[in-house]
Amino acid sequence: MSYLFGLITVLVLLWLGLSGHYTSLMLSFGVVAVFLSVLLAFRMRVLDRDSSPYDRLPKIITYWGWLLVEIVKANWIVIKACLRAELDINPAVVTVSTKCESDLARTTFANSITLTPGTVSMAIEGHSILVHALNAEDAEANAFEEMDRRAKWATDRVEKA
């Protein structure tokens, strides 16, 4: 039930923030839009911890901050490789295993790999992600361990003892 209230709260705040119109007609449209969205989510049975991760928002924001720094570092490496007189790349396709348990955590990890310049997630199967890397040296077995650990920390379920 808390996921339902979290979804309603986020949708109302998002609608109010993006709309910018507070006349009675526009507010009634907002109420109808939020009601229909919540009704659809309820009917599709997607009101769960993975679809409403609002309790994990501080961890996710911390992860995004760390990921932004990693993206900037990877950009610098790709820029240096592209600006050399000889193209300094050694493409490779590698399989990266993940310790992430939930679909949300695995998707966050795969998307993080893709957001990082020089790497693209090609497929996810179970606990393995197929990754194309611009440089084979940057895609060694342990190259993604910290990203995997942080994605798991930010988005996976925390089991209560």
- Tokens matching residue 55: 């309790």
Helix or strand or coil: residue 96? strand
Give the residues across from 129 on adjacent strands. Answer: 96, 124
Domain spans in the chain, listed from the N-terminal domain onward: 2-43, 56-155
Q: How many CB atoms lie within 10 A of CB 114?
A: 15
Residues 38-90 have pLDDT tens digits of: 999 888 888 776 666 677 788 989 999 999 999 999 999 888 888 887 877 88
How confident is the model over 130-152, as pLDDT tens digits?
999 988 887 776 889 999 999 99
